[in-house]
Amino acid sequence: MKKSITPVALAAALSCLSLSAARAQQASDTKAEPSKLETVVVNASADASKDGLIKPYAGGQVARGGRAGILGTKDNLDTPFSITAYTNELIQDRQAKSVADVLQNDAGVRVARGYGNFQESYFIRGFLLSSDDVAYNGLFSLLPRQYIATELFERVEVLRGASSFLLGSSPGSDGIGGSVNLVPKRAASQDLSRVTVSTASGGQTGVSADVSRRFGPDKSTGIRINAAYSDGGTAVHDEHAKLGLLDVALDWHSRDVRLSADLGYQDNQLKRTRTNVALQGLTAIPKLPDSDANFAQPWSYSNERDTFGTLRGEYDINDAVTAWVAYGARRSSEANSLANLTVTSANGDGNTSRFDNTREDAVDTGELGLRGKFKTGSIGHEWVATASSFQLRKKTAYVWDYYNTQSTNLYSPTYLDQQPAFRAPYDFTTNPTGAFYGGDLANPALTGVTRLTSYAIGDTLSMLQDSLLVTLGARHQRLHVEGFGYQLAAPYDESRTSPVVGAVFKAGKQLSFYGNYIEGLSQGDTVQPTNGGAAFQLAPYVSRQKEIGVKYDAGRIGFDAALFTTNKPRPVQSTTVAQGYDRHTGLELNVFGEATRDLKILGGLTLLDTTQHDTGSALTEGKRTLGAAKTLANLGLEWSVPSVDGLALDGRVVYTGGVYADSANTLAVPSWTRFDLGARYNFEVQRTLMTARLRIENAADRKYWASAGGYPEQGYLVIGAPRTIKLSLSADF
């Protein structure tokens, strides 16, 4: 049975609608021209940079450009890469709660889930990016590892394609198809005091506050504080989620110096969250259960607590040269008790076994660099030189009751008692169930260290009166990975130089053509030869991307198109170090802005051809890669109702073509289409701006498999969320 929204929330919504009707009637009676209410828009520096936060495009849903890694923030028409930056206005109006919710607006991205847990993962151009490898203001892995709440950032920037030169190799060695950078919040010149209360299907309720001020005679010092708390069920039967966070952002500037700092904390607790569905021995995808069905065990949970901080400074050495330095750290702890479902029969029969684990992360990362400008004759130069360092120290422990599997069913679950062997303290000496285990759950030991160092230099040459821009550069990277304890492994220590070549030709103020060659770099896999010989680890994988595209700015509406091909190496199980590769070729089309004065548009189309080559097996040779759809399409429209001042209605359709849940392409997952609807109403109460928002996601309550995979070569399935109703009310004091 589906849970409904709370009566208090319904009363609040009805009150808002009553105010709307009364206001409209009053305007009609007096025949007065309705006054336009102004929403508080925060425009502030995203970091300690001279340029600050790039302005939103018409409609306010995306920005005019975004961060191109070490090249800095660039206007879309000036960069040889495909970048979309989603604004905080879009985040609020779509009531997005996490990075995944924001990326639902992108036609080149689809959301998946981590292997065995509830971590967010993203398919970008058909390649995986885990939330571990999301960047925060240009630095990797600083925000919570599994789930990042939207209160912690101002914008979501999607850089499509490989990015080793721009950002460096990611800690998780993925992100070949694209990267995600989250822009921190800063205090704007206009004071902000915003409180939001919300509720959603299942009884989930929440409250958040966003407060910022600037101080001093020249407003040189700023502080912005975000706090949020939510608790309750979800639209899925008997799921429960609880979230608490606090984030403080500080900044200060003088004529030549800019400083900023962030300190944040997030506590995310999940209970009885619906699990992934693994498949074993099936020849076809099983039918879907009810959209709100929950087959998770009642004692299962996943808790994650993260504390993070950043410091960034920038100094103008002179008018032509600027130096910067940045440092970030994260300390986190996780504890999980999981029981994922494996389906072994077409009638939904399957089994589950308990898996408990704990983890502690210590991340320290930093970057320093110089950026400047000069001319050689008629040629301008914008050069950059950087050095960066990243270290992750990981402590983990687990107990897996592998031999004690319990029977259950996808459609008629059997709910099991918690197994005694897992009740703390676990007795490792007797180990009565024969469970696999590694380390001590109560005191996890060091099991892995990842160190990444790199040095990069680049130059953008401007010629022909700045109508031709050519970017050249290279980054030398070292990958050092060690395993300890039950993950003991010989150190992996490899290095590689990754080049980039990019060009932009500006055919006018509104039209530019671009092209690039850029590489991705990731750690090579460990290969076990089929003849039983000793395992060996491959050299770093070098992914090669070629892309051409066009961008057009019509003033109020923008278009861009990109044609790309990327080759990503893959291991071959053999006696040699020969490698196969996956080739992803695609076409991306995007549109954004205002189709008319009252109609905003945000949409796109991605066509993908993904093929496995030189796999060493006739079963997979020439087949599509796991989890990647051929066709992705989004269309979002928002209409400001002319006859009712402050009222806007929106709708979004998301289409995902069929995918395969295995590399041999025997398990076909059907395509799906989802419709979302929303409404927003701005009004005043005693000179206080109020914003009421209503959202209905998956309005038709469509049953669908939202993704296949989310971890390399693992074809588990995730069920799409059922119809979910969200209500919120914000007050700007």
Q: What is the pLDDT of residues 398-427, one digit of tens each?
A: 998 888 888 999 999 999 876 655 554 455
If we measure between CA atoms, which residue out of 469, 554, 468, 550 comes closest to residue 514? 550
More confident residue, 5 or 245: 245
Rounded-to-integer distance, Cα 567 and Cα 543, Å = 5
If we measure between CA atoms, which residue out of 50, 59, 91 comes closest to residue 553? 59
Q: How many Å is the maximal CA-CA distance in the chain?
A: 88
Domain boundaries, the chain: 7-16+33-521+535-732
The DSSP result for 435-473, as a single string, is: -EEES-TTS-EEEEEEEEEEEEEEEEEEETTTTEEEEEE
Sorted by sequence, the CB contacts under 8 Å of residue 512 that are 6+ apart come out as 77, 78, 504, 505, 506, 550, 551
Whether 574 shows a pLDDT value over 70: the answer reads no
Task: Give the pLDDT score at 2.
Answer: 42
* Predicted confidence band of residue 117 (pLDDT cuts 50, 70, 90): confident
Whether 434 shows a pLDDT value over 70: the answer reads no
Rounded-to-integer distance, Cα 211 and Cα 97, Å = 19
Rounded-to-integer distance, Cα 572 and Cα 663, Å = 13
User: What is the rounded (10 degree) CA torsion for 104, 107, 109, 112?
Assistant: 50
* Predicted confidence band of residue 531 (pLDDT cuts 50, 70, 90): low
Task: Give the pLDDT score at 29.
Answer: 41
Whether 14 shows a pLDDT value over 50: the answer reads no
Range 611-621 average pLDDT: 93
Mean pLDDT rounded to a whole number for the chain: 90
Task: Give the pLDDT score at 530.
Answer: 66
Range 679-693 average pLDDT: 96
Rounded-to-integer distance, Cα 43 and Cα 95, Å = 20
Whether 725 shows a pLDDT value over 90: the answer reads yes
What does the radius of gyration of the chain's CA atoms come to, in whole angstroms?
26
Task: Give the pLDDT score at 538.
Answer: 84
State the DSSP code for 425: S
What is the three-state SS of 249-277?
A: EEEEECCCEEEEEEEEEEEEEEECCCCCE
Contact 390, 382 (CB under 8 A): no
The DSSP result for 197-262, as a single string, is: EEEETTTEEEEEEEEEEEESTT--EEEEEEEEEEEEE-SSTT-EEEEEEEEEEEEEE-SSEEEEEE
Whether 675 shows a pLDDT value over 90: the answer reads yes
Q: Provide long-range contacts, Cβ within 8 A and 24+ apart, for 664-667.
A: 664/619, 664/620, 664/623, 665/623, 665/624, 666/283, 667/279, 667/282, 667/283, 667/284, 667/285, 667/708, 667/715
If we measure between CA atoms, which residue out of 354, 185, 204 comes closest to residue 261? 185
HSE of 409, CA atoms in CB hemisphere, 13 A: 10
CA distance readout (Å), 164 to 72, 177, 277, 371: 15, 11, 34, 19
Rounded-to-integer distance, Cα 686 and Cα 618, Å = 72
More confident residue, 235 or 43: 235
Contact 641, 682 (CB under 8 A): no
The torsion angles phi and psi of 466, rounded to 5 degrees, stand at 65, 15
Whether 703 shows a pLDDT value over 50: the answer reads yes
φ/ψ bin of 485: left (φ > 0), alpha (ψ from -120 to 50), beta (otherwise): left
**Which tens digits make up the pLDDT trace of 496-514?**
999 999 999 999 999 999 9
Task: Give the pLDDT score at 324.
Answer: 96
What is the three-state SS of 36-100?
A: CCCCCCCCCCCCCCCCCCCCECCCCCEECEEECHHHCEEEHHHCCCEEEEECHHHHHHCCCCEHH
SS3 102: helix
What is the enclosing helix (H) or strand (E) of 614? none
Which residue has tokens 């994260």?
Answer: 330
CB neighbours of residue 533 within 10 Å: 11
**Which tens digits make up the pLDDT trace of 264-277?**
999 999 999 999 99
In the structure encoding, which two tokens stand for residue 618, read together?
């006739």
Whether 47 shows a pLDDT value over 90: the answer reads no
What are the start-end ranges of the H helices in 245-343?
Answer: none
CB neighbours of residue 374 within 10 Å: 12
In the structure encoding, which two tokens stand for residue 456, read together?
């990069």
Contact 331, 362 (CB under 8 A): yes
Task: Give the pLDDT score at 465.
Answer: 93
Task: Give the pLDDT score at 405.
Answer: 87
Whether 27 shows a pLDDT value over 50: the answer reads no
The torsion angles phi and psi of 13, rounded to 5 degrees, stand at -65, -45
Instruction: Please tell me the CATH superfamily of domain 7-16+33-521+535-732, with its number.
Output: TonB-dependent receptor, beta-barrel domain (2.40.170.20)
In the structure encoding, which two tokens stand for residue 267, read together?
């506590």
In the structure encoding, which two tokens stand for residue 255, read together?
């004529």
Range 292-316 average pLDDT: 96
Task: Give the pLDDT score at 614.
Answer: 93
Whether 437 shows a pLDDT value over 50: the answer reads yes
**Which tens digits make up the pLDDT trace of 534-565?**
677 788 999 999 999 999 999 999 999 999 99
Sorted by sequence, the CB contacts under 8 Å of residue 136 that are 6+ apart come out as 142, 143, 153, 181, 182, 184, 308, 310, 328
Task: Give the pLDDT score at 12.
Answer: 40
**Which tens digits make up the pLDDT trace of 212-248?**
999 998 999 999 999 999 999 999 999 999 999 999 9
State whether the Cα torsion 306-275-182-723 is positive or negative.
negative
Task: Give the pLDDT score at 492.
Answer: 93
State the DSSP code for 414: P
What distance, in Å, lies between the first and last C-alpha atoms of the chain? 39
Task: Give the pLDDT score at 421.
Answer: 52
What is the enclosing helix (H) or strand (E) of 346? none
Rounded-to-integer distance, Cα 435 and Cα 547, Å = 50
Whether 189 shows a pLDDT value over 90: the answer reads no
In the structure encoding, which two tokens stand for residue 280, read together?
């074993």
Strands 724-732 and 192-200: antiparallel
The torsion angles phi and psi of 528, rounded to 5 degrees, stand at -105, 110
Task: Give the pLDDT score at 537.
Answer: 79
